[in-house]
Structure 1
């Protein structure tokens, strides 16, 4: 039973895993890991489990800096992913990866809403909403990171 399973299923799984799209997603997400680890270190330091340390960090203003660094790294995770995925895909296709990554990032930013309505009803335009450049925009980043290089390498 186990041999039949290995004989039938494993080749299909390996064929799927070795596609350029899956390889690009894997490599692109690995690219975004370094900033996320750095942001996690800032998060741990900012929310240290010892109250005395947190009090010192707050009184010296260091906690605000740590929170800003943490927020900055987490807030651009989708942008890093779209760059990494598209760069990896173009590299696998033996195309110029940096050009493709820049076009993918521009496409990702174009797809995001560039205006927001405030609570008072005023519409503010010309913004980049950090909501979509962070975790909530990750699925969109993966899709853009795959489609743009596909078109770029096809042409």
Structure 2
């Protein structure tokens, strides 16, 4: 409504009310626009559901890792320490690494007998009883061969 010099009191109040309504409408629109930009807060149920979902995903991942370890004939106890993204590739790599480690660090005999006689017939004849007994206990095949 427009301002006029000789307005009645009712017209004047209507004009004020109209102006107030216009201002209020503008502020409500601006307020709603700002509220829509705010992040929404999650309820307790939503937070609990998210937590359960995370736990389920973690369990599923743990079982997948254990299955991968079993397939690669590795100890399933390692599943606690594996957090690779590609589980299948990780399983193959871990298997290769552990097998190489075990192979390189396993017992390797330093003395080889190669089937050769370390004691000759003449040496056997010159041995005393205790030496022959020791030879019989350590290498019975050689003892039988030399005693005939």
Q: TM-score, normalised by structure 2?
A: 0.30
Relative to its length, the structure with more helix (as a share) is: 1
- Give the greater-gyration-radius structure (CA): 2
Higher relative contact order (CA 8 A, sep 6+): 1
Q: TM-score, normalised by structure 1?
A: 0.29
